[in-house]
Amino acid sequence: MIYDFFLKLFGNDVLAMLVSSLIPLFILVLPFTLVAVWLERKVSAHMQDRLGPMRVGWHGWLQTIADLIKLIQKEDIVATDNDKPLFNLAPILVFAGSYAAFAVIPLSSIFIGSNIDLGIFFIIGISGLVVAGILMAGWSSNNKYSLLGAMRSAAQIVSYEIPTILVVLTMVMITGTMNLRTLSEMQTGYFWNWMIFGGPDFGVAKFIFIPLMIAGFIIIYISTLAEVNRTPFDIPEAESELVSGYHTEYSGMKFAMFFLAEYANMFAVSVVVVALFLGGYQSPFGYLGNLFNAHWLIPIEQFFWFVAKGVFFVFVQMWLRWTLPRLRVDQLMALCWKYLIPIAFVNLLIVGIITVL
């Protein structure tokens, strides 16, 4: 474990915890957001018969870095009528809320920022910070469009947390743990041990679970799409209606923080879904490290599978974004309250009965 390694190195548990929690941020999340922004532009461009960024680096892969440098240089505009403390705090909260989730996500079997037992609970709780940040941004901007965007966003995220939590609860009932590492370890072996295929236990229950798990997976995927404000649920920033929603008034690095937080969030929800349903960092076909008797290789492979699965779902999010139009705010709420929540409840009930039996 990385934490134990640092504990031996520093001899101080707080310092070790801090360093091991920061590592995912620097080796994975920050580089990932840079790549994801570039990927989004490339995916959208190729879907639309264009090339996208081509000038900076090979096929424009340095474009995001160039953009970030540009954004750092920009003037940080704060209008006179903005509520300054809230205005300055909002991007920090949004940024922190979306990055903090990575602290408890296991990147491989030996690599988890903070191996706490309430992992999934922590993620759901900490993502509440994002809502607070968005509301603050909308209110403090003193702009009607921002306010409308923020109100929509808060309503949307709070509503869609319910189906997410219900599905998470279903998973907790089956597995009996909230620790994401334990959850991933349970799904080891081959892909039929993944929770979406009924989990590791063979028997009648496994085959009953399969349709329920697929339903749960679809519900949680749709609700996480809404939670990170992606099309078809990108109503808070609906460009054509609200200019760009709650971050209309932001410029420079504060805008960049919202922007990067959005991409970090996309990855975070993708890997949470992967950890719950698709085996987390587990390989679907066994490990090369076992084959060649090189056990040091396994964590690296696991890291590869983790990133690959996460990026795949981020890609699906982009794919949806550039294909689908946007729902209206009342239709969005109707989808959540009329369809997702009842189905999630029924799912929870059936799984509960089966688990008790």
Partner 1 sequence: MPVEIEENIKTKSGNLRTEEMILNMGPQHPSTHGVLRLELQLEGEVITKVIPHIGYLHRCFEKHAEAMTYPQVIPYTDRIDYLASMGNEFGYAVAVEKLLGIEIPERVEYIRVIMAELQRIASHLVALGTYGADIGAFTPFLFCFRDREKILNLFEITCGARLLYNYIWVGGLSHDLHPDFVRLAKEFTSYFKPKIKELNDLLSYNRIFTERTANVGILPVETAINFGVTGPMLRGSGLKWDLRKNDPYSVYNKFDFDIPVGQGLMGTVGDSWDRYFVRVLEMSESLKIIEQALEQLPEGDVTSAIPKRVKPPVGQVYARIENPRGELGYFIISNGTPNPFRVKVRGPSFVNLGVMDELCRGHMVADIITILGSVDIVLGEVDR
Query: Which residues lie near partner 1 (CB under 8 A)?
Result: 44, 47-50, 144-145, 148, 231-232, 234-235, 238-241, 243, 322-331
Alpha helices in the chain (DSSP H): 2-10, 13-24, 30-47, 63-73, 84-100, 119-126, 128-140, 144-175, 180-186, 204-227, 239-242, 252-277, 288-291, 297-321, 329-334, 341-356
Q: Choose between 13 and 81: whose C-beta lies nearer to partner 1.
A: 81
Q: Choose between 40 and 301: whose C-beta lies nearer to partner 1.
A: 40
Q: Choose between 159 and 188: whose C-beta lies nearer to partner 1.
A: 159
Nearest distance from residue 154's CB to partner 1, in Å?
14
Nearest distance from residue 231's CB to partner 1, in Å?
6
Which conformational region is residue 276 in: left (phi greater than 0), alpha (psi within -120 to 50 degrees), or beta? Answer: alpha
Nearest distance from residue 233's CB to partner 1, in Å?
10
Q: Choose between 233 and 305: whose C-beta lies nearer to partner 1.
A: 233
Nearest distance from residue 47's CB to partner 1, in Å?
6
- In total, the chain counts a number of residues equal to 357
Strand partners, 190: 285
Q: Choose between 48 and 293: whose C-beta lies nearer to partner 1.
A: 48
Residue 213: name the closest of 230, 227, 200 by CA.
Answer: 200
- The C-alpha angle 228, 151, 83, rounded to 5 degrees, equals 105
Q: Choose between 12 and 331: whose C-beta lies nearer to partner 1.
A: 331
Contact 270, 314 (CB under 8 A): yes
Residue 271 backbone dihedrals phi, psi, to 5 degrees = -75, -25
CA dist list (Å): 169 to 94, 124, 352: 25, 11, 10
Rounded Cα gap, residues 228 and 307, in angstroms: 19
Q: Choose between 74 and 328: whose C-beta lies nearer to partner 1.
A: 328
Nearest distance from residue 326's CB to partner 1, in Å?
3
Nearest distance from residue 237's CB to partner 1, in Å?
10
Rounded Cα gap, residues 46 and 63, in angstroms: 16
Nearest distance from residue 246's CB to partner 1, in Å?
15
